[in-house]
């Protein structure tokens, strides 16, 4: 394929960018609708932001528009021209670039080469590479974007923020003028995010067409020109940023269901401490973390992605080893504990990354559900009793209302919500005394969400101590009795009862509340 | 040399900055390079062995060792290309054998010269490599299984080509090529081998094709999105590996002077070549390493094993030496973030305790 | 809407395991029929055919051992050398005056111990199993040669060679009985015990297994112990069958053994498949080799046919899975090599 060598952009020149429209796009995964007739248009010289709860369809839309997912229906129009079947290559060829949530660079190659992969300029001799030209133009691009990256550095040694900047530079190198950013700020610190925004503003001035996804509403309001709100796979509103406000956006995002989930009123919790954590520390991840959870209490752990909240939970569960501090479970101090010993003592952890750390995609439902209690499964003459196993798993799945036509299907054929409920069934089978749920409703449809909230509430009523980690602040206000907030690895505050509001939490997780 | 961006440790070493600290850093960086390590260790082995038996450093011995290492060295260069794409080729032994047999028979019966034999050997190797490439890239069979299958298939092909006969008498040109010196102490074969290694090093470092090999090995999906034709790159890597195995067959034939239906497979030469690749610093997970390391590793293996013999160690320990060196080479790789022996032992004790 | 056909397709894919077994059974039946009718001396009144198994059941025993490791997503290239090594160790012990059965037991236990060492090196240093067992294969080869010397002992007691080797109970060769016991044991071990469940789960998704409380390292180590153990048993059986040992007698078994595992439907990336498929594939492959050999085809050509069967079978399987919308090879490859999680 004859891809032209990158043009020598004069620093700061405006580009001839095209408007890019999605019309009535629909897309389903295994029966679950991810996009249902979604229309959004992105215009040159404008930052258009998509907001919505997890699973509303934002990322799916950008992936469809950049050719990673094939759409089931609808039309994509670039500069008025309708695009037929769009592959990632075709998209890049036409100038559409998606900066993914997690940068996908070539770890062992230099930053320079990562920039030019696929369109390495030819040298004078046949087949050769024009390194000199690459170096020079890379310098240009870095200067244009104001980046301080050493082109010789290997990509694996760059920070996440630098990797993202490099992805932006790649978009320019590939002559792309439509650039999408899929939640780029979640792994970044506030300062790094600010640098990224400056970069995006520079691109806007030069007439690029920019799409953006973020969960942090403040930065959305600050950066965007227009905002589209998605909810449950549909567009519910598109507005100018000038007309938008935090409250308006939140209302549109959660719709009118806000009221359905006002905090479950539970009877006063017992004073029995189920889990206590004292001065837990891991260099570079978190320090001086102390808290307690009581039986029958739902404790929220609020924080941005990268704030250390998942690392804390994984340390408690024995997946990482603490450098200092003490974890006490039901009066018993955990020393050199492993996930296995935690599960056996009644401490469980539902991981936030369902695809990688949760499900066994090709394994059938019952075996997925029983996987955490394999050593405890009933035996018959030393062999696993499959009938009893199936029955136990079946009962657990009924308790969590997993909806599947048949039980003997691999879990991957289920929708996200049902997969998550199957994982809840897995952990219910383990009969937890303390349960840590990390992003329990990520990628789950609204109906399943309500079911999961009810499950968590039911567990708490049964006397289980529960820790819920979530990026959705509203969610925490609905289900938690108490919330502690973490920011960059330390606790910034604690709220309980009626104090728990989105506004108060929002301040704490970006540290305004102070420690 | 200007600082060219490249995954080769040779070239990616940063230029020495001002001041002692950066000079020391440059030195430690240089010492971390597998290529340099291999050269240094080989020289040290030479020095020690020569102190023990002075004939070890004679021109005749050096010449013999170099010539003897070249079949493995050339195959290792090909193997490296495949491993860089995150593949593996177990079938190079029968490719070598088939090429050696075909050229050998024609030389024995029809006086084919080595120069005429070269394109034949390359073509046979490339064709067999193409088969591997198709199985991996188009049929989607995992490389280790696909080439395991083709190892069996090509061994059969070799047997059919052999037709229960052997190559025993070759024209003198072959003996000359395989054992003669171009310059005193430098055999023809070493020139060929070094030429191949340098040529492929340049191809890998300096051409767009070479860079796509690294890109595919680093992240095939991202490479595909960036517009690289991953299937074509993968197939090409197996074709090149096959062609080099064919060349290895010609080298083997010239050096040993005979060939039969089990040439190559009987000595499991594919495993020695993989060993050289690993010792040379190329990782099985792809995208990292280079052919110069593999070439030097093949020579290093030859010298180290010959030195063992000088020290009156029974040659039956040669394979064990190769095995130990594979392990040492991987454990000596500092960049992988692998646990040290001490922390590994601590982990072992901890997990034992956690279980009880 | 498109629910109907989608479900049917899904249904077919779900049963791919049974589907694969059925194909193997059909292949085996066709093969036996063809050789029995078409090749003089294959059928031999039934017992002749059964006796053929003596020439390949050692492959099956080794395949079961490698199968454990492949279920976990690893590989063991040292099995062949291990079998040679065990045979030599046993013979040398016997020559020193140790009772033959005791010698066999000690040799097999040494094999299990070496398997343990493999597993520990691989999990503690986080090395590729391919690499470590490749190195070990070289080392074991040297050890076998060094211990056995040029003329390893031969001529074992009759009781030994007939029970572990060429004897028979009525028309049924002793080896089939040994193989049946081992096979039954291993099928239960993989599919009906807690260990087997952990093995399969971690083969499917190593990270998820860790997050679900599976002791990933220890389970992998145990798979390597089993692999060593079974390679050792295979080595004893070979020694008994041929009534002699050689420092490279087992080496040629490695590739057919891996072929049998993969042909049996076990995913080389771990997790998917059934141990019974490996047993089946042993017979498919073994009778194929024997039939061809009796037909007068050379060993190398027979291997070639075996390799061809492997490649074609896998290409078909992968092609069907792709069409069925299963996870693509690239997907699984990425999952296999994804960073191993947090330190």
Q: Is residue A515 part of a domain?
A: no
Residue B243 touches chain C, beta carbons under 8 Å = no
> By residue range, what is the domain housing residue B101?
64-330
What are A452-468's pLDDT values in tens digits? 999 999 999 899 999 99
| CB nearest to C14's CB, from A342, A371, A408 | A408
- Report whether pLDDT(C133) > 60: yes
CATH number at residue B317: 1.10.3470
Domain final residue pick, A259, A290, A310: A259
A59 and A185 co-located in one domain: yes
Q: Is residue B293 part of a domain?
A: yes
The predicted structure's pLDDT at residue B1 = 35
Three-state secondary-structure class, residue A108? coil
Percent of chain A past pLDDT 70, that is, above it, reads 91
A282 and A211 co-located in one domain: no
Q: What is the pLDDT along chain B (356 residues), one digit of tens a residue?
A: 333 333 333 333 333 333 455 677 777 777 778 888 899 999 999 899 999 888 888 888 889 999 999 999 999 999 999 999 999 999 999 999 999 999 999 999 999 999 999 999 999 999 999 999 999 998 889 999 899 899 999 999 999 999 889 999 899 999 989 888 888 778 999 999 999 999 999 999 889 899 999 999 999 888 888 888 899 999 999 999 999 999 999 999 999 999 998 898 888 898 899 999 999 999 888 889 999 999 999 999 999 988 988 888 888 888 888 888 888 888 877 555 566 666 666 666 655 444 43
Least confident of C165-174, C217-226, C237-246: C165-174
The predicted structure's pLDDT at residue B198 = 96
For residue B283, the chain A residue with the least C-alpha distance is A108
Average pLDDT over residues A109-127: 85
Q: How many domains, chain A?
A: 2
* Enclosing H/E stretch for A199: helix A190-205
Phi-psi map region of A45: left, alpha, beta (phi>0 left; psi -120 to 50 alpha): left
Residue A107 touches chain B, beta carbons under 8 Å = yes
CB neighbour list of residue A266: distance below 8 Å, 6 or more residues apart: A296, A298, A457, A460, A461, A481
How high is the ipTM of this complex? Answer: 0.83
The predicted structure's pLDDT at residue B15 = 37
Encoded tokens for B2: 């200007």
| Inter-residue contact B275 to B326 (CB < 8 Å) | yes
Q: Is residue A457 part of a domain?
A: yes
Residue B322 touches chain C, beta carbons under 8 Å = yes
Q: Is residue B355 part of a domain?
A: no
Q: Is residue B129 part of a domain?
A: yes
- Report whether pLDDT(C341) > 60: no
Instruction: Write out the DSSP string of C43-67.
Output: STTTHHHHHHGGGTHHHHHHHHHHH
Look at B152 and C304 and tell me if their CB atoms are within 8 Å: yes
Separation CA B305–CA B322 (nearest Å)? 8
- 3-state helix vs strand vs coil in chain A, percent to 5: 35, 25, 35
Residue A28 touches chain C, beta carbons under 8 Å = no
| Inter-residue contact A97 to A115 (CB < 8 Å) | no
A351 and A500 co-located in one domain: yes
- Report whether pLDDT(C48) > 90: no
Chain C stretch 21-80, residues whose beta carbon is closer than 8 A to a beta carbon of chain A: none
pLDDT tier for residue A216 given thresholds of 50, 70 and 90: confident
Least confident of A155-159, A187-191, C177-181, C334-338: C334-338
The predicted structure's pLDDT at residue A511 = 63
Q: Which long-range contacts (CB under 8 A, 24 or more apart) does A61-64 make?
A: A61/A22, A61/A25, A61/A35, A61/A230, A62/A98, A62/A180, A62/A182, A62/A211, A62/A213, A63/A98, A63/A182, A64/A22, A64/A25, A64/A27, A64/A35
| Inter-residue contact A14 to A204 (CB < 8 Å) | no
pLDDT tier for residue A4 given thresholds of 50, 70 and 90: very low
Chain A hits for B354, CB-CB cut-off 8 Å, are: 318, 336-338, 340-341
Separation CA B196–CA B96 (nearest Å)? 16
Chain C hits for A360, CB-CB cut-off 8 Å, are: 201, 204-205, 208-209, 271
Query: What rounded mean pLDDT belongs to chain A?
Result: 85
Chain C stretch 76-115, residues whose beta carbon is closer than 8 A to a beta carbon of chain B: none
Chain C hits for B146, CB-CB cut-off 8 Å, are: 311, 314
Chain C hits for B93, CB-CB cut-off 8 Å, are: none
A285 and A393 co-located in one domain: yes
Encoded tokens for A466: 């529960």
pLDDT tier for residue C340 given thresholds of 50, 70 and 90: very low
A264 and A180 co-located in one domain: no
CATH number at residue A371: 3.40.50.300
A202 and A294 co-located in one domain: no
Residue C127 φ/ψ, nearest 5 degrees? -100, 160
- Report whether pLDDT(A420) > 80: yes
> By residue range, what is the domain housing residue A68?
20-259
Q: How many domains, chain B?
A: 1
Look at B208 and A104 and tell me if their CB atoms are within 8 Å: no
Strands of A298-302's sheet in order across: A347-350, A434-438, A465-470, A298-302, A482-487, A490-496
Three-state secondary-structure class, residue C176? helix
Which residue of A117, A132, A156 is the best one to mutate when testing the B interface, meaning the one whose CB has the most B CBs within 10 A?
A117
Closest among A503, A441, A514 to A473, alpha carbons compared: A503
What are C226-260's pLDDT values in tens digits? 999 999 999 999 999 988 888 888 888 888 999 99
| CB nearest to A351's CB, from C197, C211, C338 | C211
A194 and A315 co-located in one domain: no
Please provide the CATH number assigned to the domain covering C21-337.
1.10.3470
Q: Where are the domains of chain C?
A: 21-337
The predicted structure's pLDDT at residue B340 = 62
Query: What rounded mean pLDDT belongs to chain C?
Result: 85
What are A121-143's pLDDT values in tens digits? 888 887 888 888 888 888 888 88
Domain final residue pick, A204, A239, A259: A259
Chain B hits for C218, CB-CB cut-off 8 Å, are: 351, 355
Closest among A203, A195, A202, A199 to A177, alpha carbons compared: A203
How far apart are the CA of A27 and the nearest CA of chain B, in angstroms?
Answer: 21
Separation CA C80–CA C66 (nearest Å)? 10
Chain C stretch 108-147, residues whose beta carbon is closer than 8 A to a beta carbon of chain A: none
Closest among A168, A55, A102, A34 to A305, alpha carbons compared: A102
How far apart are the CA of B25 and the nearest CA of chain A, in angstroms?
Answer: 15
pLDDT tier for residue A5 given thresholds of 50, 70 and 90: very low
| CB nearest to B354's CB, from A89, A117, A338 | A338
- Report whether pLDDT(A371) > 50: yes
Domain final residue pick, A259, A275, A290: A259
The predicted structure's pLDDT at residue C143 = 93
Q: Is residue A14 part of a domain?
A: no
What are C10-38's pLDDT values in tens digits? 444 445 677 888 888 999 999 999 999 88
What are A373-395's pLDDT values in tens digits? 998 888 888 899 889 999 999 99
Chain C hits for B142, CB-CB cut-off 8 Å, are: 268-269, 329, 333
Least confident of A25-34, A105-114, A376-385: A25-34
A380 and A352 co-located in one domain: yes
Average pLDDT over residues C73-97: 94
A294 and A223 co-located in one domain: no
Residue C132 touches chain B, beta carbons under 8 Å = yes
| Inter-residue contact C164 to C36 (CB < 8 Å) | no
Q: What is chain A's Cα-based Rg? A: 25
């Amino acid at each position: 394929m004859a891809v032209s060598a990158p043009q020598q952009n004069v620093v700061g020149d405006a580009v001839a960018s095209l408007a890019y429209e999605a019309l009535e796009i629909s897309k389903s995964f295994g029966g679950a609708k991810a996009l249902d007739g979604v229309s959004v248009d992105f215009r040159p010289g404008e930052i258009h932001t998509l907001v919505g709860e997890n699973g509303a369809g934002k990322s799916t839309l950008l992936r469809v528009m950049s050719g990673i997912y094939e759409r089931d229906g609808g039309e994509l129009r670039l500069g008025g021209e309708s695009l037929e079947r769009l592959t990632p290559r075709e998209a890049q060829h036409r100038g559409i670039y998606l900066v993914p949530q997690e940068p996908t660079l070539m770890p062992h190659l230099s930053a320079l080469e990562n920039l030019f992969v696929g369109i390495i300029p030819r040298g004078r001799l046949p087949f050769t590479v024009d390194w000199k030209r690459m170096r020079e133009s890379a310098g240009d691009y870095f200067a244009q974007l104001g980046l301080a990256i050493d082109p010789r550095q290997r990509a694996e040694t760059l920070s996440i923020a630098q990797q993202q900047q490099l992805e932006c530079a790649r978009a320019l190198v590939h002559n792309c003028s439509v650039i999408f950013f899929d939640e780029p700020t979640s792994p970044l610190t506030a300062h790094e995010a600010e640098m990224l925004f400056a970069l995006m503003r520079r691109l806007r001035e030069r007439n690029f067409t920019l799409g953006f996804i973020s969960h942090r509403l403040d930065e959305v309001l600050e950066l965007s020109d227009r905002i589209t709100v998605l909810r449950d796979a549909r567009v519910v509103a598109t507005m100018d940023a000038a007309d938008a406000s935090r409250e308006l956006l939140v209302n549109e995002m959660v719709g009118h269901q806000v009221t359905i989930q006002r905090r479950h009123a539970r009877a006063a919790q017992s004073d029995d401490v189920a889990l206590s954590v004292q001065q837990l520390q891991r260099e570079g991840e978190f320090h001086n973390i102390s808290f307690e959870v009581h039986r029958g209490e739902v404790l929220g752990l609020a924080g941005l992605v990268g704030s250390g909240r998942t690392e804390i939970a994984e340390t408690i569960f024995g997946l990482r080893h603490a450098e200092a501090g003490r974890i006490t479970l039901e009066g018993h101090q955990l020393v050199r504990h492993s996930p296995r010993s935690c599960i056996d003592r009644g401490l469980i952890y539902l991981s936030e990354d369902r695809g990688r750390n949760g499900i066994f995609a090709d394994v059938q439902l019952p075996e997925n559900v029983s996987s955490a209690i394999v050593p405890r499964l009933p035996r018959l003459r030393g062999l696993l009793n499959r009938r009893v196993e199936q029955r136990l798993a079946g009962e657990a799945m009924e308790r969590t209302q997993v909806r599947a036509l048949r039980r003997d299907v691999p879990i991957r054929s289920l929708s996200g919500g049902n997969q998550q409920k199957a994982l809840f069934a897995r952990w219910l089978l383990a009969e937890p005394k303390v349960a840590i749920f990390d992003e329990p409703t990520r990628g789950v449809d609204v109906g399943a969400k309500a079911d999961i909230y009810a499950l968590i509430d039911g567990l708490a009523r049964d006397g289980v101590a529960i820790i819920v980690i979530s990026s959705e602040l509203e969610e925490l206000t609905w289900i938690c009795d108490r919330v502690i907030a973490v920011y960059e690895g330390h606790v910034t505050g604690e709220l309980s009862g009626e104090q728990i509001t989105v506004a108060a939490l929002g301040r704490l997780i970006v540290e305004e509340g102070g420690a | 040399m200007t600082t060219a961006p490249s995954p080769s440790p040779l070239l990616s070493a940063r230029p020495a900055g001002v001041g002692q600290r950066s000079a020391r850093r440059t030195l430690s960086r240089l010492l971390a390079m597998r290529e340099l390590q291999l050269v240094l260790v080989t020289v040290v082995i030479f020095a020690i062995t020569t102190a023990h038996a002075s004939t070890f450093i004679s021109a005749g011995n050096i010449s013999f060792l170099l010539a003897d290492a070249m079949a493995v060295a050339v195959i290792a260069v090909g193997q490296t290309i495949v491993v860089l794409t995150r593949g593996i080729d177990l079938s190079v032994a029968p490719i070598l054998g088939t090429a050696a047999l075909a050229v050998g028979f024609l030389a024995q019966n029809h006086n084919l010269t080595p120069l005429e034999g070269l394109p034949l050997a390359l073509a046979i190797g490339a064709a067999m490599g193409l088969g591997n490439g198709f199985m991996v890239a188009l049929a989607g069979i995992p490389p280790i299984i696909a080439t395991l299958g083709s190892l069996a298939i090509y061994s059969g092909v070799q047997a059919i080509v052999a037709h229960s006969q052997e190559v025993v008498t070759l024209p003198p040109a072959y003996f000359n090529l395989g054992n003669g010196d171009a310059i005193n102490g430098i055999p023809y074969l070493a020139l060929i081998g070094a030429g191949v290694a340098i040529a492929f090093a340049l191809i890998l470092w300096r051409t767009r094709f070479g860079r796509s090999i690294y890109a595919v090995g680093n992240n095939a999906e991202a490479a595909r999105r960036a517009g690289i034709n991953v299937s074509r790159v993968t197939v090409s890597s197996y074709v090149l590996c096959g062609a080099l195995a064919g060349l290895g067959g010609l080298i083997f034939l010239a050096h040993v002077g005979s060939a039969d239906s089990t040439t190559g497979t009987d000595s499991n030469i594919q495993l020695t070549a993989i060993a050289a690749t690993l010792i040379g610093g190329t990782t099985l997970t792809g995208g990292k390493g280079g052919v110069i390391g593999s070439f030097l590793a093949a020579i290093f293996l030859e010298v180290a094993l010959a030195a063992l013999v000088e020290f009156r160690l029974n040659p039956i320990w040669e394979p064990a030496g190769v095995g130990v060196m594979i392990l040492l080479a991987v454990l000596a790789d500092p960049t992988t973030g692998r646990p040290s022996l001490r922390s590994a032992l601590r982990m072992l004790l901890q997990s034992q305790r956690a279980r009880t | 809407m498109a629910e109907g056909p989608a479900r049917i397709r899904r249904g077919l894919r779900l049963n791919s395991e049974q589907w694969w077994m059925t194909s193997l059974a059909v292949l085996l039946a066709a093969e036996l029929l063809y050789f029995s009718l078409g090749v003089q001396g294959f059928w031999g009144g039934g017992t002749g055919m059964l006796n053929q198994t003596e020439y390949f059941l050692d492959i099956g025993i080794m395949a079961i051992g490698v199968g454990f490791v492949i279920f976990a997503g690893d590989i063991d290239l040292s099995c062949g050398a291990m079998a040679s090594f065990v045979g030599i160790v046993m013979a040398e012990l016997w020559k020193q005056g140790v009772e033959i059965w005791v010698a066999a037991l000690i040799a097999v236990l040494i094999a299990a111990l070496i398997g343990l060492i493999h597993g520990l090196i691989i999990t503690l240093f986080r090395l590729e199993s391919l690499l470590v067992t490749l190195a070990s294969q070289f080392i074991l080869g040297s050890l076998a040669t060094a211990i056995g010397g040029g003329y390893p002992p031969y001529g074992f007691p009759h009781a030994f060679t007939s029970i572990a080797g060429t004897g028979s109970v009525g028309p049924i060769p002793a080896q089939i009985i040994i193989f049946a016991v081992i096979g039954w044991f291993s099928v239960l071990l993989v599919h009906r015990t807690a260990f087997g469940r952990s093995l399969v789960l971690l083969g499917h998704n190593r990270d998820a297994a860790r997050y679900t409380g599976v002791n990933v390292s220890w389970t992998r180590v145990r798979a390597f112990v089993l692999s060593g153990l079974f390679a050792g048993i295979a080595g004893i059986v070979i020694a008994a069958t041929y009534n002699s040992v050689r420092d490279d007698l087992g080496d040629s078994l490695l590739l057919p053994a891996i072929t049998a595992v993969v042909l049996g439907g076990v995913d080389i990336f771990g997790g998917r498949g059934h141990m019974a498929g490996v047993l089946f594939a042993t017979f498919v492959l073994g009778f194929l080799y024997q039939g061809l050999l009796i037909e007068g085809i050379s060993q190398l050509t027979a291997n070639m046919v075996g390799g061809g069967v492997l490649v074609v079978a896998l290409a078909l399987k992968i092609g069907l899975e792709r069409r069925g919308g299963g996870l693509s090879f690239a997907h699984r490859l990425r999952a296999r090599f994804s960073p191993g999680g947090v330190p």
